[in-house]
Structure 1
Amino acid sequence: MFETVILEPLRLPKDAPLERVRLAPTEGRGPDYDTMFDFRTLAYGAVRARGGVVLVCPKLGRLAQVLRDARIAGAGGALRWRGMRRFRRYDEVWISGGEPGPVLEVVLPEAAGGAVRRITVMTRRPVFDGLRCLTTKSKDNDLAWIADWARHHVRAQGAEGVVLFDNGSTAYAPEEVTEVLAASGLKAATVVSADLPFGPTAVKPPHHIALFFQSATLNLARHWALPRAAAVAVNDIDELFLSRGGRTIFEAAEQSRLGYVTAQGHWRSRAQQEGPPRHVQHVMRDVPEALCKEKFCIVPGGPLRWFGWDVHGVGRYQFNGIARARDQYFAHCREISTGWKYQRGSSDGAVERCPETAAGLEASLGGGA
């Protein structure tokens, strides 16, 4: 199954008297902070889970009281607040009481304007059950990059499914991403169109605490589409998992005691600069080797199933060291970038060809540089 889904979040009205409080002091915000900050989203999505519904939310702060005081009703009547789980860059609100039905009606308290809002209860995706899957986010990445990313992981890692959150791309429609994934050899893919603020990077520490979107949507995928996947690998479009031994990143996670492994990142540059950049050209390593923060693969129903997923690991990354799979790494391709975070080009220092990376990319993508 290949499908495109439009995310229907729960948001405060534009004229609501309350909004999310900025997480950085004035001197730490930078010029684009307010433009990129998410002031109004209460929940990205609602998913049936453990006898109730979980709302996957940005960090709520004082807006938690808004949801606590709201009157929430499903098909079976009123639902009650069951509790809240707080994570580093997202929160979960758990509610229960009656049959939720397909849509929840949320009457906001007077302090938040008293408006009536609705949020769809997202339907499970059993098509991903038992599959080895990837999940990621993307905005305006070249469709050829997305195709290469998917094709590499199908051929080199045995990937079978993808859940991709398209964060408001303007270069093409989300349906075009779905078409690209459908042609990559995958068994199933869902592209979720989610045009919501990604979040700002502060100019002073903590820099990334307001980047709610990526962490929250990873966990939306975890609860909604991927809870029964065989294993799920998390990385970005500019990152390709590669194996040094006979097993894949998915097999490494499945064979781990924790049901969880991390892979070290290695920066890679293009061998030649002519023409548009492609992953397969990124076969040059820095001298000395330049490393970057790890990415991971997890068995969703394994021993760490209660831990939230984040960009570089589960929880607060406390298992990352002991979970490092020495036979796995990923190539972080410098020029596969839209420059949304900062402008990236080739390495400024000495580089040399990496035969290992070159062989891996040649085998999966062909036409190696």
Structure 2
Amino acid sequence: MAIDLAHSDPTIVDSTAVTLDAAKPLRRIPLGPELARPQSFEARFDHSAVFYDVFRDHTGRHVYMIGPMALNLTPLIDALVITGHPSGVTVRPKIHHGVQAEILRVTLPRTDSRLSFVLDGQSFDIAIQPNQSAALRGDRVIFTINKDNALEWIADWARFYVAEHGASAAVIYDNGSTSYSLDQLRATLAGVEGLAKFLVIPWPYPFGSMDDVFTGHKFGGHWAMFAQPPKFTQFFRKYAMGARSILNVDIDELVFSPFRKSVFKAIERAPFGLLRFNRVWVLNSRDETGPPRHQHYVIRKKGVAARDRGKKWGLAPGRAFLASWRAQPWTHQVKGWFNLSGSSGEFYGYHFIGISHSWYWDRTAPVAFDPKLHVRDRLMTTTFADVFGTARDR
């Protein structure tokens, strides 16, 4: 049975959120606030969170304050003055307006366990969470954010990475699943054979929404995604600095190697501790009936038409000395990390259209197999046969 890291220390998943007072007028305002949007957009928009977590870095010298894109709150963030307690030391933070996230670093005495500041007349006195990197020291870790993905999918996802790549730990940020309890999610991970440890982190913040009205931002309609981008930096700095290697893969993503190599070993051998590789779409087409599973899907488009525009990445956190303090892992890249090696051709992230309860678009429409356009991927059938015991020829 895999060990639940929160069993012996429940505080390991604690975070210090900073939210605006609902009784006061200050709010985060959407881009193009004058534009009419559906109620679903407003319901998913994060109007109030300033920071999702405040915690010590792994050295103990600094405190990170991580939050979603500030938008109209940016001038207030830029003017922040932080006081540490009990020392009383007052400092201005270093501030990085990152990729859909705010990253602040404050240098405070190691003995300070709280900090305070004033934001537009609202006073905050909050706890500084401890760094938790020791819990994953030496591990090869897969991590993701999840909401209501089928427990069978989650078990298959973890089982695949254990069997095929040698993952030893899994970390799941749960973004408010209602189809099952967190205890059921923990029990699912505990039952994955070969997995040594796991951690389920509650992440209750609004995920955000696609914006079909204001698309003038550099991220187009994706600008209003809040919960996911800050999570990458929070995980990297708070939990992962002692890990041997980490891999960002969603429940609908499995990494395959034509040479059947371990992606973790490749990350650890990468010249600068950063490995990037392309993704391939796996079509929602299968012969099986009943509840879908990853191993049912082995059909993709032929050639370059199968390519997904997004890339995947993995890091060896021990090489962070090559990176800026503002280095930011993000969905498809890592900003501020020295890397000259480009993308690897030895790994591909297969992105399963049929394995998702998407936050914002319907992926359930089936696709009929067309031999002129599609191919049954032999690498997938061979790998699935070894991992899940499915037929090699389908």
* TM superposition score normalised by structure 1: 0.90
Could you say which residue in structure 2 is the equivalent of 1:129?
137
Specify whether residues 101 and 347 from structure 1 end up closer, same or farther in structure 2 by C-alpha distance, changes over 3 A only.
Answer: farther
Could you say which residue in structure 2 is the equivalent of 1:57?
67
Could you say which residue in structure 2 is the equivalent of 1:363?
386
Specify whether residues 168 and 24 from structure 1 end up closer, same or farther in structure 2 by C-alpha distance, changes over 3 A only.
Answer: farther
Q: Which of 226, 230, 255 does residue 212 from structure 1 map onto?
A: 226
| Superposition deviation, residue 187 in structure 1 | 1.7
Q: Which of 76, 87, 91 does residue 102 from structure 2 map onto?
A: 91
1:196-246, Cα deviation, whole Å (9 max, x unpaired) = 111121113421122132110011000000012111111110000111115
Q: Which of 165, 171, 179 does residue 171 from structure 1 map onto?
A: 179
Structure 1 contact 252–325 (Cα < 8 Å) conserved = no
Q: Which stretch shifts more, 255-264 or 69-78? A: 69-78
| Superposition deviation, residue 101 in structure 1 | 4.4
Cα distance in 2 between the residues matched to 1:166 and 1:97: 31
Q: Which of 30, 41, 54 does residue 49 from structure 2 map onto?
A: 41
Structure 2, gaps ≥5 residues long: 7-12
CA RMSD of aligned residues (A): 2.6
Structure 1 contact 30–202 (Cα < 8 Å) conserved = no
Q: Does residue 1:82 correspond to 2:93, yes or no?
A: yes
Aligned residues: 365
Cα distance in 1 between the residues matched to 2:103 and 2:334: 15
Identity %: 24
Could you say which residue in structure 1 is the equivalent of 2:23?
15
1:63-98, Cα deviation, whole Å (9 max, x unpaired) = 345454466443433442231112121111122333
Structure 2 contact 133–241 (Cα < 8 Å) conserved = no
Q: Which of 327, 337, 358 does residue 356 from structure 2 map onto?
A: 337
Structure 1 contact 88–209 (Cα < 8 Å) conserved = no
| Superposition deviation, residue 166 in structure 1 | 0.4
Specify whether residues 220 and 18 from structure 1 end up closer, same or farther in structure 2 by C-alpha distance, changes over 3 A only.
Answer: same
Q: Does residue 1:32 correspond to 2:28, yes or no?
A: no
Structure 2 contact 5–135 (Cα < 8 Å) conserved = no
Counterparts of 1:1-369 in structure 2, within 5 Å, are 1-4=3-6, 5-24=13-32, 26-27=34-35, 31-49=39-57, 51-67=61-77, 68-69=79-80, 72-99=83-110, 101-102=112-113, 104-109=114-119, 111-112=120-121, 114-184=122-192, 185-203=194-212, 204-205=215-216, 206-269=220-283, 270-287=285-302, 289-292=305-308, 293-302=310-319, 304-306=322-324, 307-315=327-335, 322-345=341-364, 346-347=366-367, 350=370, 351-368=374-391
* SS at structure 1 position matched to 2:92: strand
Q: Which stretch shifts more, 148-157 or 118-127? A: 118-127
Cα distance in 2 between the residues matched to 1:150 and 1:24: 41
Letter matched to residue 271 of structure 2: R
| Superposition deviation, residue 25 in structure 1 | 5.2
Structure 1 contact 287–349 (Cα < 8 Å) conserved = no
